[in-house]
Structure 1
Amino acid sequence: MTSRSNSWRVVAVGCGAVVLLGGCGPSDDGDGKAGSSSTSKTSVAPDVPAGYDPCKDVPQSVLDSEKLLDKTPDNSSVDGGIKWRGCLWAQTDGYAASIQTTNITVEMVRARHFPDTHEFSIDGRRAISSRQSTDHPDAACTVDVEMKGGSLEVSLSNPPSRRNTGQLDTCELTRKLAEKVVPTMPANV
C-alpha cells in the first residue's frame, strides 16, 4: 500500500464518522490517493464517471507519442467508497503512468492541501496537480481533471534513477501527458 492510498484511507475512516453525523468527504484508498472532508456536505459519487474508459479510449497515438507500453489494468477501491478504474503504462527506462477515472473530485483534492498544488485548466476543464506521495514526493505527481461525478486522474512515478526521464520535473511530465489525453474525452463526461 502506498502512502498516497493511506492518505485517502485515513480520510475514508473519518468519512464514516462524519456520515453518521450528517456529511461525508473523500476517503483513502490503499493506493495512497487522497480525498477530503467537506463542510459543504459534498457526497462521493457511488462509482467512477462513465463515458471514458482510459484502458480503451486513450488513443494509441497518444501512447506512442509518450512511448508508453505494457498496458496493465489498474483498479482499486478504499473505504468510504473511493474508486479508481483505469490502466497503467510504462516507458522503457522512463516514467510509469496511471490513467484512471475516479470519483474523487477536483474540490476533494484541493481540500486535502497536498504539497505543490496548482490549479489550471485543460481543454476547458478544471484541473489540479499535486504531490500526494510522502515517500518520494519529487518522483510522483498527480493531475486530476474535472469530469461529471469525479475526475480523470493521471499519476506519474518518475524515479531519479530513470535514464530517460528521471532528471525531468515529474509534475511537468504529468501535466503534459494530461494535456494530450484530456482532449480525447467526450465533452459531455
Structure 2
Amino acid sequence: MIDAVDTAGDQEERMISRGNTLLGTVLAVGAVVLLSGCGSSTDGDAKPVTASASAEPSLAADVPHTYDPCKDVPQGVLDSEKLHGKDPANGDADGGVKWRGCAWVRSSSYSVSIRTTNLTIDLIRSRNFPETTEFTINDRRAISTRQFDGPFIKEACTVDVEMKGGSLEFNLNNPKSTSTGSLDSCDLARSLAEKVVPSLPATA
C-alpha cells in the first residue's frame, strides 16, 4: 500500500525533476523560435513562423571564448543563491546557433542555465519576443525576453548580457509550485545576472 503522505524529500525531488524537464523544454523551444521568429499558439503549443528575408542582425560565427560559465561563475554567487548540481548545458541548433555552459538548480526553487552564446543582443531584439525589456548591467547592454509560448510562459525568462561576439545568457525556470514561485522569473534572472556579470573580464 502506498503511503498517502509524501516525505519532504520526495516532494523536493519531484519539483527539481519538473524544473529540469521544463528548463530543457524551454531551451529547445527557445532555440527553434530564435531561428524562426515568434508565432501564434494553439492549445498552449508553440507555433513558430518563418522569419522574413529582410535584412537583420547577423549571427556571430562562434560563442565568446573569454568566459567559461562552468568554471568562471564565482562560487560565492552560487553559494549566495544556493545553486548546486552543476551539469553541462551545451547546445547547437540549426542555423549555427550555439550555447556553451552549465545548468544549476536551487532546491525547491528555480533552475537556471548560464551559457555563452553567439546570439547577439541586436539579433535577440529583432525577434520581438513577448515582454522584451532592455537595460544595462555594469555598462553592458542587456535584454530580457519570454521565449516560451504556452501555459508556463511566465515561469521562464531569458536574460542576455552583451559580450564581444555574442552574449552571456541566463535561462531561468521558476515553477509556481516552488518556494520562489510567487516571484517573477525575469526579476530572478536579472538579479542573478547582476551578481555574475561583474566577473566577466573587461575584454569579454
Identify the TM-score tier after normalising by the shorter chain: 0.7 to 0.9
Amino acid in structure 2 at the alignment position of 1:5: A
Q: CA deviation at 1:47?
A: 1.2
**Residue identity in the other structure for 2:163:** M
* Structure-to-structure mapping, 1:14-163, within 5 angstroms: 39-40=54-55, 42-135=57-150, 136-162=152-178
Q: Which residue of 2 aligns with 1:9?
A: 32
Assess, with a 3 A threshold, how the Cα gap between structure 1 residues 56 and 4 changes in structure 2: closer, same or farther.
closer
Tell me how far 1:38 sits from its aligned partner: 7.8
| Secondary structure at 2:63 match in 1 | coil
Whichever residue aligns with residue 79 of structure 1, its letter is D
CA contact (8 A) 1:38 1:111 kept: no
The residue type paired with residue 173 of structure 2 is: S
C-alpha deviation, 1:77, in angstroms: 0.4
What is the match of residue 170 of structure 1?
Answer: 185
Q: Distance in 1 between matches of 2:26 and 2:76?
A: 32
| 1:187 counterpart letter in structure 2 | A
The two structures, once aligned, show a CA RMSD in angstroms of: 2.0
**How many Å separate the matches in 2 of 1:7 and 1:67?**
26
Distance 1:158 1:82 in 2: 25
- Give me the TM-score of the superposition, normalised by structure 1: 0.82
Alpha carbons of structure 1 residues 4 and 53: separation in structure 2 relative to 1, 3 Å: closer
Please say which of residues 3-12 and 102-111 is displaced more in the overlay: 3-12
Larger radius of gyration: 2
Give the secondary-structure state (helix, strand or coil) at the position aligned to 2:122. Answer: helix
The residue matched to 1:47 in structure 2 has which SS? coil
Once the two structures are TM-superposed, the CA of residue 44 in structure 1 deviates from its matched residue by 1.7
Q: Which runs of 5+ in 1 are unaligned?
A: 15-35
Distance change (3 Å), C-alpha of 1:98 and 1:137? same
Q: Distance in 2 between matches of 1:151 and 1:38?
A: 24
Residues 97-144 of structure 1: CA distance to partner in whole angstroms, max 9, x if unpaired? Answer: 110000001111111111111100000100000111113111000000
Is the 8 Å Cα contact of residues 57 and 123 (structure 2) preserved in structure 1? no
Greater length-normalized contact order (CA 8 Å, ≥ 6 residues apart): 2
Residue 74 of structure 1 and its aligned partner are, at CA, apart by 0.2
Spell out, residue by residue over 1:50-108, the C-alpha distance to the aligned partner (whole angstroms, 9 max, x if none): 11000000010000000001000000000110000000000010000110000001111
How far the C-alpha of 1:13 sits from its partner, in A, is 6.7
Separation in 1 of the partners of 2:53 and 2:27?
19
- Unaligned runs of 5+ residues in structure 2 are 1-23, 38-50
Q: What count of residue pairs does the alignment treat as equivalent?
A: 167
Between the aligned partners of 2:138 and 2:145, the Cα distance in structure 1 is: 19
Task: Summarize deviations over 1:168-188 as a string: whole Å, max 9, x none.
Answer: 111000000000000000011
